[in-house]
């Protein structure tokens, strides 16, 4: 089970939340692109000048014919055990105006639900599941930095 808390950092603060963590770069060998099963990867994903770009349309199919999920295009990180320890995810995001319901990040492995954490955008507001984070309104059409620290404890 994971313990999580959300802290919104003002970008003018001199706090660096990455201090003390070891960087594990995202490499093609440790991730998988999940996309609509009837689309070639290059129709829903690109990596140009250091930017991973993913897109999905509400009319897309799920990532496999057997899936009962909604359409998705996502990077699934592989090869790490997130069941214990303290882990940090840092990345930048950009959500185009008019996009709603998009999941920015999720962490699987909760005790009673599929996910421990899900950050989504609804009507331009970053939300924890469906609860708006008031410090992050109007996220559309601008780059934002996301830094999440999760602590996983066994037996809780």
42 pLDDT more than 90:
yes
Residue 62 CA to residue 56 CA, distance in Å, equals 10
Q: Residue 49, exposed/middle/buried by CB under 10 A (0-12, 13-18, 19+)?
A: exposed
2 pLDDT tier (thresholds 50, 70, 90):
very low
Beta strand ranges found along 40-114 (DSSP E) = 45-48, 51-54, 74-77, 85-94, 102-108
With contact defined as beta carbons under 8 Å apart, do 132 and 101 qualify? no
* pLDDT tens per residue, range 70-79: 888 988 888 7
CA end-to-end span of the chain, whole Å? 6
1 pLDDT tier (thresholds 50, 70, 90):
very low
* pLDDT tens per residue, range 100-154: 888 888 877 656 666 677 888 999 998 888 888 877 788 899 998 888 887 776 5
């Amino acid at each position: 089970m994971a313990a999580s808390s959300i802290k919104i950092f003002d970008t003018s603060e001199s706090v660096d939340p990455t201090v003390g963590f070891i960087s594990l770069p995202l490499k093609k060998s440790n991730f998988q692109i999940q996309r609509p099963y009837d689309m070639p990867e290059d129709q829903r994903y690109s990596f140009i000048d250091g930017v991973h770009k993913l897109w999905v349309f509400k009319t897309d199919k799920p990532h496999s014919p057997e899936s009962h999920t909604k359409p998705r295009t996502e990077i699934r990180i592989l090869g790490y055990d997130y069941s214990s320890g303290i882990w940090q995810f840092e990345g930048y995001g950009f959500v185009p105006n008019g996009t709603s319901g998009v999941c920015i990040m999720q962490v699987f492995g909760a005790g009673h639900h599929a996910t421990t954490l899900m950050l989504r955008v609804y009507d331009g507001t970053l939300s924890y599941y469906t609860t708006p984070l008031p410090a992050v309104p109007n996220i559309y059409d601008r780059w934002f930095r996301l830094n999440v620290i999760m602590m996983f404890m066994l037996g809780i």
